[in-house]
Structure 1
């Protein structure tokens, strides 16, 4: 439920737009600056850290320090690539283990609500500032100050530590109120268990915030290993905690849960994030940094930097309001189903699990392209070369769509068997996993508009404009809220979250329409005819694949039946056949991005 709000704080002249945090997510949605707006699963939730990558400056600094040779850069890239893969694999494994331990019913929603709040508060008050204002400011002071920015880092470290301690203390004392805000329709036992968990889980606010700062400080020193590997330890700890809870409580545990088991779940989860922060702190000390407490903020420039973050803060607030609406409605729907005697298992936990699967293709394909796009597009914007900005945007959109259009339909068709294969174990039944699949299917159909909207945001950020994205977020929130409420009022409890997911995806259609029109006027066009033409041809090219995929599903359903063979066989056969048909159709339709995509893949493989 990610902010997606990277921006340059309005300082185009100093190239701050190039100093954007990069996720190895997406969001996406703060961000997770690459975490999309309103997304339910914060980046730290996935076992990752926002990693500021200062490509041009890291290269220059490395040359000055004798560490910037091509060999050194390749070693750093290799460490980051392997660490990224380890984070993603262990993060997904952690999701499976934790899902098996707590399920998608009342206990799962109680835990996930309590676990989400720390990341929401961090995004609202700390995380977004770190991504868009603090990191660029820190980089500039490190380069410009006579002491290499040491005094500025000490002030920032001291201020952040005290602010996080205060925020964490207030949050823990307000645990009951915060759970009521996000779970006002919880049952009495569910509410009590969620509050109990929150008193442990809210302590993560401190460790999440410090992890972000420590990661940023390490990256400014060209130390990339710890920020990408520390989350792996967090994932492993939570996997162990989930396994021990499942062993102690057994599958299908529901509120009220004994205090000892809740303590294991809550304290164990918080311990994983604490270990992550500790590893980063040790790595920072080993880099040579020694913290000296300082609070002499007058004249430090930090206040001026913070004042540039007004529109970014509004954007973050609006996206988190969307998450608040989603969480409340999903929680209420799950409880309503229980009250009506239905075994629903389709609340915020199911929504989050579906969203994590949905994010994978965006994170793997689109985010890598966006990472390359933003610095280059920022440079073109600085030169006021609008034709180059349009070209960068259009080419990125078309190449990513070449992969994402067929992939979105494939995920939608095979969402249920894939979700059953991934999640149907422990406390998650086959029916619960099927609910996750239905939510995922709806999300998958919105993958392309979701990605196009994120690309448009990057254009605004490259232009140094955070005001327009904040205004567009108002429209997104209005559409998402209206459709989510309509789903809650009109749909049965086990379909409410599917409706909420559809509203969330449709909000990106309205968002990209508004953002695209405004951006087109500003840049003198967006190469719309070329981009729309490619999208139309891609959707025509995918028709034979969809038809074949439906035929494969029918065959396995009629002649194989439910079971492991179908859950693996149908997606495998359907995707292989669909890929061949899509590539053939794309070639017949003369889709030029076919050549570009092949060249891109070949280039990646050569590396």
Structure 2
């Protein structure tokens, strides 16, 4: 399982690195002004719907059902179930696209009401969103095909697909001189990437012999019944998380220009460890636990969960420390160039520090929620999610006044921690999770490594600033690279020594 996590994580890392390059180019070309704000809204809108109906709810309902049928030897039933769901998703997405395009001004006004005070920015956001929205149709089908491939332990193509989004955007931005402005170029890059990602995973599904075909959806199929029983609560749960993200965009649209962009750039760095580690672990863990539980081996399912949890925690903790201690250095070194000035870097750095508080919980939630989804319980995560979202939204309203855009990120951190703690307590009471001694030792080792990392960062930063020569435009990047290398060695050595002292191997947590 760890090898599969590394495979998914490796491709996700490539995706995040190319995504970072994409964001560096976007920041330099568009900055953090009205054009960037309009594109961020246009980019987020189809992704909000994708997260609700695609990756979020769909995976929760589809993967356990498909994996359960396939793991029980009902290969033909699993294939027919996938065919029917593929047809249904295609029809729904075409209908949604036909409705959304003419209604786009009202949709954008609902998502970013503050833009209405600036007619130029509002009109640009509407035009860009009409270009990006078809991306939703293709990426939803990509999600379905990825679920089929993941259930068959084929993870590479699905994990590699997002790389095409970043490459497409980079090519589009390089050709921005052919468009009215860089935002139009980026919007077309998003739309084209949806087609490219679909073709990639479809080709892999064809090679594996599991490419879905058109088939009439029917509730006479027991798999379809099971799917819809899980889908309803899963949609509500996924919508709850997206409501909080909608609230971010809505409230930020009323803040001074640049707030929406600050959230976006900080979130992109936050999503790097979350995507590489948390999502990779969850992608592999859910079908693994579903198969083990379908075979009646709860102990093996819990062991897999402990391995994924320990691995996720060990890899994500250093990022949280870095985000909390040197956010301004990170944003300055990585983004401050071209149209992205020092003020934009400082604003984004404050948001990044707040996201650092959320990172450990955000990574771990993908492992703990598998306890419920693998048992086809999608209702309990909904209750936990909506409770956390309610707190999140209330805190956004309360904190934005005194703290501005940083308050939105702090509210997100509080909501994520409430969500993961609620799920853990419930799963523990039901006996659906069983943390091992090795996992506890790993957690203690991670804490020790973080303490050493924090001490090295706080002590090493002033020293490096004195010793590092004046390098035009690259001094901060050189300091960040040196600090990261030293910190990585110190953290890894501390963690490995702690694990060795107690006879624990990370692969066998």
Q: How does 1:79-94 map to 2 (within 5 A)?
A: 84=12, 86-94=14-22
Please state how far the C-alpha of 1:385 moved relative to its aligned partner.
Answer: 6.8
Which range moves more in the overlay, 476-485 or 232-241? 232-241
Q: Is the 8 A contact 1:552 1:573 kept in 2?
A: no
Equivalent of 1:358 in 270, 275, 290: 270
Partner of 2:483: 574
Partner of 1:50: none
Please state how far the C-alpha of 1:498 moved relative to its aligned partner.
Answer: 1.7
Instruction: Give the structure with higher Rg (CA).
Output: 1
Higher relative contact order (Cα pairs below 8 Å, separated by 6+ residues): 2
Q: How does 1:394-543 map to 2 (within 5 A)?
A: 396-491=308-403, 496-523=404-431, 527=435, 535=443, 538-539=446-447, 542-543=450-451
Structure 1 residues 86 and 109, CA gap change in structure 2 (3 angstroms):
same
Partner of 2:114: 185
* Structure 2 residue 188 is matched with structure 1 residue 267: yes
Partner of 1:29: none
CA distance in 1, matches of 2:171, 2:139: 20
Equivalent of 1:550 in 455, 458, 468: 458
Equivalent of 1:123 in 51, 66, 77: 51
Please state how far the C-alpha of 1:505 moved relative to its aligned partner.
Answer: 1.2
CA distance in 1, matches of 2:308, 2:149: 30
Q: Is the 8 A contact 1:537 1:591 kept in 2?
A: yes
CA distance in 2, matches of 1:391, 1:140: 19
Which range moves more in the overlay, 504-513 or 189-198? 504-513
Q: How does 1:109-508 map to 2 (within 5 A)?
A: 109-137=37-65, 154-186=83-115, 187-216=118-147, 226-245=157-176, 247=177, 263-281=184-202, 294-295=215-216, 297=218, 299-301=220-222, 302-303=224-225, 305-335=227-257, 345=258, 347-370=259-282, 373-374=285-286, 377-378=289-290, 393=305, 396-491=308-403, 496-508=404-416
Partner of 1:3: none
CA distance in 1, matches of 2:439, 2:80: 49
Q: Which runs of 5+ in 1 are unaligned?
A: 1-17, 25-76, 250-257, 336-344
Q: Is the 8 A contact 2:279 2:363 kept in 1?
A: no
CA distance in 1, matches of 2:428, 2:149: 39
CA distance in 1, matches of 2:211, 2:323: 49
CA distance in 2, matches of 1:126, 1:156: 12
CA distance in 1, matches of 2:425, 2:209: 50
Please state how far the C-alpha of 1:428 moved relative to its aligned partner.
Answer: 1.7
Deviations 1:92-116 (A, max 9, x none): 3223223333222222121111221
CA distance in 1, matches of 2:166, 2:490: 39
- How many residue pairs match? The answer is 501
RMSD: 4.0
Structure 1 residues 261 and 242, CA gap change in structure 2 (3 angstroms):
closer
Q: Is the 8 A contact 2:150 2:287 kept in 1?
A: no
Please state how far the C-alpha of 1:312 moved relative to its aligned partner.
Answer: 1.1
Please state how far the C-alpha of 1:324 moved relative to its aligned partner.
Answer: 0.8
Please state how far the C-alpha of 1:410 moved relative to its aligned partner.
Answer: 2.8
Please state how far the C-alpha of 1:549 moved relative to its aligned partner.
Answer: 1.6
Deviations 1:444-469 (A, max 9, x none): 23322333333321222234322211
User: So what's the TM-score if we normalise by structure 2?
Assistant: 0.82
* Structure 2 residue 17 is matched with structure 1 residue 108: no
Q: Which has the higher helix share?
A: 2
CA distance in 2, matches of 1:531, 1:282: 39
Please state how far the C-alpha of 1:163 moved relative to its aligned partner.
Answer: 1.6
Which range moves more in the overlay, 427-436 or 290-299? 290-299
Q: Is the 8 A contact 2:104 2:129 kept in 1?
A: yes
Secondary structure of the residue aligned to 1:297 is coil
CA distance in 2, matches of 1:174, 1:101: 30
Q: Which runs of 5+ in 2 are unaligned?
A: none
Q: Is the 8 A contact 1:211 1:276 kept in 2?
A: yes
Secondary structure of the residue aligned to 1:275 is helix
Which range moves more in the overlay, 552-561 or 93-102? 552-561
